[in-house]
Amino acid sequence: MSESVRVLPLQRVSAAEAAAWHEVVVASMAHDLPGVPPPGPGQVTAQLTRPALGSRRLTWLATGADGVPVGVAGLRVFTSAGRDHLAELELHVDPAHRRLGAGSRLLSAVVAACRTENRRSLVAAAADGSPGEAFGERLGFHRVLTLDHLILRLDELPEADLLRIVGTAPPGYRLTGWTGTVPDELAAAFAEAKNAMNDMPMGDMDYGSVAWDGDRVRAMAKVIADRGDTLLTIAAVHEDGTMAGYTEILLPQGSGPRAQQYDTAVVPAHRGHGLGLWVKAAMVRHLRAEHPGVVEIETDNADDNAHMLAVNHRLGFRSYRRTHEFQLDVPAT
């Protein structure tokens, strides 16, 4: 049966290929992740056709004997110093066409590309108990990190609780915020704060690190805007001008009901003052006031990130699913 599956690398992704990709992803997620909203067609097209920050994307489409798309694979090849050993995999097979060899053939193409690109580590995520988890373990991936996914329903948060948190400013700090690109006068301080993410718990994952500067934070915001998404940031600034912590929320294009948490970080020298909870509560109030169509926020934390899990639970986030990050150590040719 596997002889009927063809795997084709995509060069410039056409509108028809993006539509086929979207159909496969929607079918795969509906089966493996019921209740998780799939990306919209515009989001998929932007992902496939717009450059990502500090990386290149390689893509493959698997078709059956009749030419019908049955599977897709995307490989994000990181190019930034500190991550130029790494690639990240997204792979989906339509449930109606599984066990015909499409997943194995796509993965073979991906691993070959990793060798060509001199990548030693290939990482991928799979939902707990899903077919993807079993597939990865069978083909040599090993589990390196477990993520708890949490949902915060904004309509379940009493306004009085939020006011109490936001109104109790830690001495010596103030809040600021922006939409999209960081203001020029804050860019350097924001970049320094972004570097605090490099000590985030990552289990046994060979994920490397990123060095942030003003140009990189501006480039990140441009990438997000170019694909049609909106990035919101709330930050805590110390009286000495240091940006002590921040939180970011992504509104996918179309600003649907579920927002995605991006980074939340507190600079090590400013930890222990409740800044993480403070900026996140301020963000919830901002969403309520400026983006009333958003009704929930999804975030994820490593299961050993006890501090951020405690902050999120204090704010009202509730666990609803788990995923595992897997890593394949790619042998050199």
Tens of pLDDT, residues 246-304: 999 999 986 679 999 999 999 999 999 999 999 999 999 999 999 999 999 999 999 99
| CA distances, 308 to each of 78, 141, 267, 324 (Å) | 27, 27, 13, 18
Per residue in 216-225, pLDDT tens?
A: 999 999 999 9
Strands (E), the chain: 6-10, 55-63, 69-78, 86-93, 121-127, 142-153, 173-179, 230-238, 243-251, 258-266, 296-302, 318-329
Residue 208 has pLDDT above 90, yes or no: no
Nearest to 328 by CA among 49, 84, 86: 86
Q: Residue 2: its pLDDT value, please?
A: 47
Q: What is the pLDDT of residue 255?
A: 63
Tell me the pLDDT tens digit for each residue of 61-106.
999 988 999 999 999 999 998 999 999 999 999 999 999 999 999 9
42-56: pLDDT as tens digits: 999 999 999 889 999
Report helix, strand or coil for 54: coil
Backbone angles phi, psi at 180, to 5 degrees: 80, -125
- In terms of pTM, does the model score above 0.85? yes
Q: Average pLDDT of 7-11?
A: 95
Instruction: For the chain, give the mean pLDDT.
Output: 93
What is the reported pLDDT for 1? 42
Report the C-alpha gap between 20 and 178 in whole angstroms: 36
- Cα–Cα distance between 283 and 286 in angstroms, integer? 5
What confidence tier does 204 reach under pLDDT thresholds 50, 70, 90? confident
Domains of the chain: 2-119 (3.40.630.30), 150-321 (3.40.630.30)
Write out pLDDT tens, residues 164-181: 999 989 999 999 999 999
CB 327 within 8 A of CB 206: yes
pLDDT above 90: percentage of residues in the chain: 86
